């Protein structure tokens, strides 16, 4: 199958930890009721989706399953779409995080970049939906300081994302900071 022309990125719905300003990372924190409503509302703005890929973390998986049920599509889980592992900082206030540092017990910036870049060839379909986390979306959009809202679709050309993927594989960039 050929590469898609466009890709739709969607951050998972809201969680209680998001509301509280707690760094989640790879902790399996479920959606709250507001996050479930956000996922349901996101369906209305998704047309022409023919595949759904999701991080296996519960907040993404649940968001993707709500959308998949509405669109009649199966959700494919990809480990590479998981949020960066923040080690000892997970469960702590976000204000304690420095994105440019490699956290103790967590994933290095380089490992995170490589993992995200490796998922790009798996996104088969003509217009896939990718349900993931703000860190992954910032990498794929090459906008490290952008606020990524919950359950608001972002449509990009696949060519743009492939270009970012090549940048992610290159040493010395600052896309994850």
Global model pTM greater than 0.95: no
- Confidence class for position 56, pLDDT limits 50, 70, 90: very high
Question: Is 12 in the active site?
Answer: yes
Q: Percent of the chain scored above 70 by pLDDT? A: 88
Label residues 68-101 b or e (16+ Cβ within 10 Å = b): beeeebebbbbebbbbbbbeebbeeeeeebeeee
Distance, in Å, from the CA atom of 75 to the CA atom of 66, rounded to the nearest integer, reads 10
- H, E, C per residue of 124-155: CCCCEEEEECHHHHHHHHCCCCCCCCCCCCEE
- Mean of the per-residue pLDDT values of the chain: 87
Q: Model confidence over 63-119: pLDDT tens digits? A: 999 999 999 999 999 999 999 999 999 999 999 988 778 899 999 988 998 899 888
Q: What is the pLDDT of residue 162?
A: 67
**Torsion over CA of 164, 165, 167 and 171, rounded to 10 degrees?**
150
- The one catalytic residue among 38, 62, 83, 107: 83
The mean pLDDT of 13-29, rounded to a whole number, is 96
- The one catalytic residue among 12, 85, 133, 150: 12
């Amino acid at each position: 199958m050929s590469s898609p022309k466009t890709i739709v990125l969607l951050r998972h719905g809201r969680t209680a930890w998001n509301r509280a300003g707690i760094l989640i990372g790879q902790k399996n924190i479920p959606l709250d009721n507001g996050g479930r409503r956000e996922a349901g509302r996101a369906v209305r703005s998704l047309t022409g989706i023919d595949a759904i890929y999701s991080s296996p973390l519960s907040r993404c998986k649940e968001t993707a399953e709500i959308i998949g049920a509405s669109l009649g599509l199966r959700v494919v889980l990809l480990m590479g779409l998981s949020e960066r592992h923040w080690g000892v900082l997970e469960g702590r206030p976000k204000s304690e995080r420095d994105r440019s540092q490699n956290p103790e017990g967590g994933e290095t910036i380089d490992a995170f970049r490589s993992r995200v870049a490796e998922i790009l060839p798996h996104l088969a379909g003509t217009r896939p939906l990718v349900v993931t986390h703000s860190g992954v979306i910032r990498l794929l959009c090459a906008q490290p300081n952008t606020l990524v809202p919950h359950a608001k679709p972002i449509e990009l050309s696949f060519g743009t994302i492939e270009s970012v993927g090549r940048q992610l594989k290159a040493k010395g960039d600052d896309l994850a900071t």
